[in-house]
């Protein structure tokens, strides 16, 4: 093998390796492509919340029993809601592609732009009002969650599906998955019927907990596709279909309870809180699966302080408007 390489290297027709100076434009090009994809993703995802909210408002003016907050699924017959789902799908596709061009330390924090997009569009298109404390809470949530992502350790590389399967057998990760499922069932069965209409955290907690599993499932499915395209066939691997089924189940649950939250509460409040909770649980799940906790180091105290500030700012931000429109605004209790 080495002889063949030596003979081939003497062939003058071979293209010489790129020099460091030649590789700089390529790296810069990848960076800006990733940046553009990440920003586009935030625009699509932020807009999708508004489109779906408009569909839910339209449905609220009709048969009340078909509303998401009443346990109905009338939104499945609304073309506008499906446009929102497609828009969100485009955003997630751009986000997935952005990781191939730009570092995660750039792409993930830019997801906070979707919160700003939703806040601006909801005030313009939905006429939703957010008081000063709510605005400060949104800003601090964005800053705090961004700092958490930036200071979180980079996840360990997984070279193959076999490596990923080995990590999934870890007792701590299995305990996390079981805990997420049990806590989610408890919220859905006991907490949601009692407090879902008055506390915005209830439905968002379900979306965020299940969302952490959906992200890991997407990563696993992406790894299977990557290996298959590189010549290592994974279509016969049962783990590939496990990831596929997991993605379908998790995303379905997320859509149902995110619709409930959007139907009950202001979009400008749902989006930032969902972003913070979702990001936190994704970091936690990834840390457990990829053994990040051993390398937290000095970043941990900073993350704790960020959470303290976030919680402190969120607690007084209770929106209790004296007069609200039934279809557009609700009394939003955070804690």
Residue at 320 is within a domain: no
Residue at 109 is within a domain: yes
Domain that residue 172 falls in: 23-314
Is the model's pTM score more than 0.75?
Answer: no
Per-residue pLDDT of the chain (335 residues), as tens digits, is 444 444 444 444 444 445 544 444 555 677 788 788 888 998 999 899 888 888 888 777 766 555 655 566 677 778 888 898 899 889 888 887 776 676 655 676 677 788 778 877 887 787 777 677 767 766 776 676 566 556 655 544 577 888 888 888 999 999 999 999 999 999 999 999 999 888 989 999 999 999 889 888 887 887 888 788 888 888 888 888 998 999 899 989 998 898 888 888 887 788 888 888 887 888 788 888 877 665 555 555 555 555 555 555 554 444 433 333 443 444 444 44
Residue at 209 is within a domain: yes
- Is residue 138 within 8 Å of residue 297, measured between CB atoms? no
Residue at 4 is within a domain: no
Helix, strand, coil percentages in the chain from 3-state DSSP, rounded to 5: 75, 0, 25
Radius of gyration of the chain (CA): 22
Helix, strand or coil, per DSSP, at residue 241: helix
Residue at 236 is within a domain: yes
Indicate the number of domains in the chain. 1
Residue at 324 is within a domain: no
With b meaning 16 or more CB within 10 Å and e meaning fewer, what string describes 304-315? eebeeebbebbe
CA distance 108 to 204: 20
Mention every residue, 6+ apart, whose C-beta is less than 8 A from residue 68. 56, 59, 74, 75, 256, 259, 260, 262, 263
Residue at 319 is within a domain: no
Helix, strand or coil, per DSSP, at residue 199: strand
Report the phi/psi class of residue 291: left, alpha or beta, with left for phi > 0 and alpha for psi in -120 to 50: left
Least Cα distance to 106 among 157, 41, 34, 155 occurs for 34
Residue at 205 is within a domain: yes
């Amino acid at each position: 093998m080495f002889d063949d390489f030596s003979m081939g290297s003497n062939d003058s027709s071979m293209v010489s390796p790129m020099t460091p100076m030649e590789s700089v434009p390529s790296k810069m090009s990848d960076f800006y492509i990733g940046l553009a994809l990440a920003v586009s993703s935030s625009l699509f995802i932020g807009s999708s919340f508004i489109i779906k909210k408009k569909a839910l408002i339209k449905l609220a003016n009709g048969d009340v029993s078909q509303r998401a907050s009443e346990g109905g699924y009338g939104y499945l017959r609304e073309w506008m809601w499906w446009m929102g789902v497609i828009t969100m799908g485009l955003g997630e596709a751009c986000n997935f592609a952005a990781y191939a061009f730009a570092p995660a330390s750039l792409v993930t924090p830019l997801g906070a732009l979707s919160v700003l997009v939703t806040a601006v569009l909801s005030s313009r298109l939905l006429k939703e009002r957010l008081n000063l404390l709510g605005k400060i809470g949104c800003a601090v949530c964005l800053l705090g969650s961004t700092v958490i992502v930036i200071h979180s350790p980079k996840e360990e590389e997984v070279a193959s599906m076999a490596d990923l399967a080995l990590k999934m057998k870890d007792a701590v990760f299995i305990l996390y998955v079981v805990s997420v499922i049990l806590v989610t069932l408890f919220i859905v069965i006991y907490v949601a019927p009692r407090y879902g209409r008055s506390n915005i955290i209830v439905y968002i907690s379900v979306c965020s907990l299940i969302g952490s599993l959906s992200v890991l499932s997407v990563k696993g499915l992406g790894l299977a596709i990557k290996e298959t395209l590189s010549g290592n066939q994974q279509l016969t691997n049962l783990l590939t279909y496990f990831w596929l089924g997991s993605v379908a189940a998790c995303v379905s649950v997320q859509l149902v309870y995110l619709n409930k939250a959007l139907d009950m509460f202001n979009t400008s409040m749902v989006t930032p809180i969902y972003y913070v909770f979702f990001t936190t649980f994704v970091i936690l799940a990834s840390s457990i699966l990829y053994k990040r906790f051993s390398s937290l180091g000095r970043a941990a105290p900073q993350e704790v302080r960020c959470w303290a500030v976030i919680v402190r700012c969120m607690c007084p931000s209770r929106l209790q408007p004296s007069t609200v429109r039934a279809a557009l605004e609700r009394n939003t209790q955070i804690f």
